[in-house]
Amino acid sequence: MYSFQKSTPVIIIDRKTASPEMGSQRSLSYAQEVYHCRRERKRTFVPWKVYTRFCRPTIENVQNGVAFCKEHGSDIIVAIGGGSAIDTSKAIAIIMTNPEFADVRSLEGASPTKHKAMPIVAVSTTSGTAAEVTINYVITDVEKHRKFVCADPHDIPVVAIVDSEMCASMPPKLCASTGMDALVHAIEGYITKGAWELTDMMHLKAIEIISRSLRDSVKGDKSGRENMALGQYIAGMGFSNVGLGIDHSMAHPLSAVYDIPHGTACAILLAPVLKFNAPATGERYREVARAMGVAGVDEMSQEEYRKAAIEAVAKLSADVGIPTKLSELGVQEKDIDFLAESALADACTPGNPRDVTKEEIAEIYRSIL
């Protein structure tokens, strides 16, 4: 058990979430309420510090956050936001207790840290990344135009607060993007090489919940948002145990080079990546189609249910306003070689159900350029 009685907390909240439009006052007061409820009995003063001078989990922002925590003697983090705030917090928290990893790049891949991270209370304000429950975080290397994945069981937040009220102020675009990220987690987690019965159960349930709730959630429907908070969480519980695939490998460089939101990059790639992976997935797309509400899947041939699953994904993506062409997001042919090289080297690639070459990755990018 962790003791919160004598700690010096830092609230880590990215600049976007901290903006008045995103309801920062509610976010902050909520976090304070959660934290203070453990303090009230003793009526002690909590010396809050807030680190908010960042938008993305870049190497520089992590280093500044570590310096901030050291300067103020912080020993617990309250991370408020989506993936940006929580991933930044995870890297800071890991380095605080494993100072030999002060070079953030040294954490890439399966980070061989020795100590548990500084405790994190993660308050999620989006429904998609599931960063509050996973072992992963993704850091942007601005200098090298790439994002890199770090996987470390030492970084899991000690408390995850998943409350759809905290996601109520999400604008539709953010809701669609983060929600599609959750769908990609569920589907990639279901077809990844490491998938097994326990995670299958989580992923199929998550696909079902997300598929029937995302459209309503994007429209601002309360119950849609509640269901999405649950669906993304279940997907996170699943994929954190088995990994993902090349949809994420290919999405990471798109965000690093063009600053495309992670969920949008994942969503636009989902149909073409599923098409590429189909030959290596046995009967799995039948269950994906079924979970997405496609009727008559038991009567379908392999070709038919695979097509039906891909069409269902593409329809949901289009319904929530995700573009279908990378050029709409500024992607250019001249960068495809670099994007493909970066995707091939990504930590998610080995988990893909079908082995892939750099040329095949480039071809997938080109197919939706």
| Contacts with Fe ion, residue ranges (CB under 5 A) | 181
Task: Provide the token pair at 49.
Answer: 């510090």
- CB nearer to Fe ion: pick between 9 and 245: 245
| Rounded Cα–Cα distance for residues 336 and 323 (Å) | 18
- CB nearer to Fe ion: pick between 66 and 202: 202
| Rounded Cα–Cα distance for residues 196 and 218 (Å) | 31
State the number of CA atoms in the 13 A half-sphere of 18 facing the CB.
14
C-beta nearest to Fe ion: residue: 181
Q: Match 């006052």 to its residue by tokens.
A: 25
- CB nearer to Fe ion: pick between 87 and 181: 181
CB of 139 vs Fe ion, minimal distance in Å: 14
- CB nearer to Fe ion: pick between 147 and 286: 147
CB of 299 vs Fe ion, minimal distance in Å: 34
- CB nearer to Fe ion: pick between 10 and 187: 187
CB of 199 vs Fe ion, minimal distance in Å: 16
CB of 172 vs Fe ion, minimal distance in Å: 19
| Rounded Cα–Cα distance for residues 131 and 157 (Å) | 9
- CB nearer to Fe ion: pick between 23 and 179: 179
- CB nearer to Fe ion: pick between 202 and 294: 202
Task: Provide the token pair at 260.
Answer: 């495309």
- CB nearer to Fe ion: pick between 11 and 186: 186
| Rounded Cα–Cα distance for residues 95 and 102 (Å) | 6
Classify 27 as helix, strand or coil. Answer: helix
CB of 267 vs Fe ion, minimal distance in Å: 10
| Rounded Cα–Cα distance for residues 289 and 274 (Å) | 12
CB of 262 vs Fe ion, minimal distance in Å: 6
Task: Provide the token pair at 209.
Answer: 């919940």
- CB nearer to Fe ion: pick between 56 and 306: 56
CB of 178 vs Fe ion, minimal distance in Å: 9
**φ, ψ for residue 19 (rounded to 5)?**
-70, 150
Q: 296: exposed, middle or buried (C-beta count within 10 Å: 0-12, 13-18, 19+)? A: exposed
| Rounded Cα–Cα distance for residues 203 and 188 (Å) | 9
**φ, ψ for residue 282 (rounded to 5)?**
50, -125
**φ, ψ for residue 300 (rounded to 5)?**
-85, 150
Look up residue 210 and give its amino acid: I
Q: In angstroms, how far apart are the furthest CA atoms of the chain?
A: 67
- CB nearer to Fe ion: pick between 132 and 181: 181
CB of 129 vs Fe ion, minimal distance in Å: 6
| Rounded Cα–Cα distance for residues 98 and 112 (Å) | 10
CA 251 vs CA 11, 255, 316: distances in Å: 29, 6, 18
CB of 41 vs Fe ion, minimal distance in Å: 40
CB of 273 vs Fe ion, minimal distance in Å: 13
| Rounded Cα–Cα distance for residues 226 and 116 (Å) | 31
| Rounded Cα–Cα distance for residues 109 and 189 (Å) | 18
